[in-house]
A and B are shown apart, each in its own frame.
Chain A
């Protein structure tokens, strides 16, 4: 049982800070680079790291992350190698690490084995965009046993009644999708989403982090102001796509986003 996610949000709240959560795809373009890039994120000041687990048919992802998944699969990335990467990161860092991916590779790995190995490797949480609350029984028992947080997603289409359910079942934090769309979308966050997030924060203690479509410090600042944290993914993935060595740029973007979320 780890409390790294909970403790991180707790410590940030005490300091009056917001969480900056950074996503990159594991194995994009290969595992050695991912290790370097993850360290750049840590060095730049990210509070939580999300590592994508590539899937051939990622229905919740836009072109940027789809292509990252393809690059990762080309370099033969799989779950075992991602666990090995987490173990390496754990040797030098206590940062919360969350894996994000689709359910099929997890089922194929063996659900029970997946959670046992994940916990042993130092994984703290898991986000499965194609496993909504209705299907959570497929993983719940093992997640609880392993102490790994299943982080649920909420969307602008989730009504109040459903938000209550999602908040009750999510562990670690609630991941709020800023707009109806896939990752990397350029759509703006709508009124309903703002209202929902306000409502969530007024009505619960659980942290809420907002993600999908946030790429600039400006957006980060506006959205962080009303949430407990923000998630940025596609912007990092683009840096990795466009630069042979993206470390310096990744660290710099992390610093600018991290400072943007904490300006009040």
Chain B
């Protein structure tokens, strides 16, 4: 139907990556998306914008983030060389800030007066609130009521940053519902407002814009690994919610076919239980939040409420480009269940002194089994997309499980 993606891994002019992507939005938003696309092409990619953005990335966000050789973990996992890309050390504690500083700066150049965002874990909300404060724009963040409860620390942070947090009570009261509500706000206030989508999801051009701003992760990692190992890595591992930290790491390596791309989705209580967030593993092609991609739905095409212990992966869709890369085989996908994730959180904390976000711990959980099978001297980069402070309540509630004694506490169904 639409022309296929070209060899440069760019979406076609309708925003399709192969069969996935597009712009499934109410007519009211079409003009704004076109304006955003134009602004992105002409402003965000201009040398002057890029140099302004690099300034903020360096002096404000604290980039480049280290690529750390995890010595004890490498030894423990049998000799492959494991490097951790430390996005947890970026300002506000996760990779989300790379995108929000870029988008809010762009919004400002486009003359927008107000910023809105959706958030799950609250990391994107905090990162948007931060960028809005940095550039002096009022900000409102939509957050499912369940996430308001389980990520209370981030709610307080957003409020302290001057952002209004709007709890969302519809549906599963998690990320997807927050995104519905943010879209409705945008439909209503489109003339004055920029909607900062937090992942490589949503309608064209968001998947491309967010990938562009997050690619700094992979660009740095590539340079850093060349310095450390004088060669490309063999494997990249990242967790996948909407897909921004993974695309950010993967994209600069995408044409290096010898570099394996591994994504880890939320296995929740297990794929068979039906309570998970694994859209690539268990979803089917459909349309959600403005894009055609792999989604979790029932026989009638109604969206299924996902489940994950990590609010940031508790989403029934995924960025369209990841669906495409998965179909073509370029991307391999695994899942990590809630209990393995808690255990991986404890593992990284005790082995390397790094407390990862529960989202990032999915990548660690996968690595713990995957890396063991790799030959010695294989070079692996794992994206630590964020730090775990926000998850301390959940970790405390499950401390018995973490100490191999108790069972997983259930949060919702």
Interface positions of A (Cβ within 8 A of B): 55-62, 66, 73, 78-79, 102-109, 129-135, 137-138, 152-159, 162, 166, 177, 180-182, 185, 187
A181-B183 Cα distance, complex, nearest whole Å? 10
What chain A residues lie within 8 Å of B188 (beta carbons)?
A: 180-182, 185, 187
Q: A135-B24, A180-B28, A180-B188 are in contact. Are A130 and B286 (CB under 8 A)?
A: no
Closest chain-A Cβ to B197's Cβ sits at a distance in Å of 13
Q: Are B302 and A105 in contact (CB under 8 A)?
A: yes
Q: Does B180 contact A (CB under 8 A)?
A: yes
What would 26 A/B residue contacts be, using CB atoms closer than 8 Å? A55-B302, A56-B303, A57-B177, A59-B183, A59-B184, A59-B187, A60-B187, A102-B287, A104-B288, A104-B301, A105-B301, A105-B302, A106-B301, A107-B287, A108-B300, A109-B301, A131-B24, A133-B27, A134-B22, A134-B23, A134-B30, A157-B190, A158-B27, A177-B27, A181-B28, A181-B188
B contact residues around A102 at 8 Å (CB): 287
A182–B31 CB distance below 8 A: no
CA distance A133 to B34 in the complex (A): 13
Q: Does B138 contact A (CB under 8 A)?
A: no
The answer to whether B23 touches A135 (Cβ under 8 A) is yes
The answer to whether B23 touches A132 (Cβ under 8 A) is yes
In the bound complex, residues from chain B placing their C-beta under 8 Å from that of A103 are: 24, 287
Q: Which residues does chain A contribute within 8 Å of B285, judged by CB atoms?
A: 107
* CB pair A138 B190 closer than 8 Å: no
A155 in complex: contacting residue of B22, B26, B189, CB < 8 Å:
B26
Q: Which residue of A lies closest to B317 (CB)?
A: A57
Interface string of B178-193 (1 = CB under 8 A from A): 0010011001111100
Distance in Å: Cβ of B26 to nearest Cβ of chain A = 5
Q: Is there a chain A Cβ closer than 8 Å to B170's Cβ?
A: yes
Known: A135-B22, A135-B23, A182-B188. A162 touches B302 (CB 8 A): no
Q: How far is the CB of A66 from chain B (nearest CB, A)?
A: 6
Residue in contact with A129 in the complex, picked from B23, B26, B286, CB distance below 8 Å: B26
Closest to B189 in A: A180
The answer, yes or no, to whether B60 is at the interface (CB within 8 Å) is: no
**A154 CA to B30 CA, complexed, in Å:** 10
Q: Give A233 Cβ to nearest chain B Cβ, in Å.
A: 15
A214 to B126, CA, bound (A): 38
Residues of A within 8 A of B326 (CB): none
* CB of A123 to closest CB in B, whole Å: 17
Interface: B290 (CB within 8 A):
yes
- Could you tell me which residues of chain B, from 1 to 55, have a CB within 8 Å of some CB in chain A? 1-2, 14, 22-32
Interfacial chain A residues near B114, Cβ < 8 Å: none
Chain B residues positioned under 8 Å from A58 (CB to CB): 180
B167-225 contacts to A, CB under 8 A, are: 170-171, 176-177, 180, 183-184, 187-191
B297 close to chain A: CB less than 8 A: yes
Q: Is the CB of B301 within 8 A of A155?
A: no
Contacts of B190 in A (CB 8 A): 157, 180
B368 at the interface (CB under 8 A from A): no
Residues of B contacting A73 with CB < 8 Å? 302
Give the shortest distance, in Å, between A186 (CB) and chain B (any CB). 11
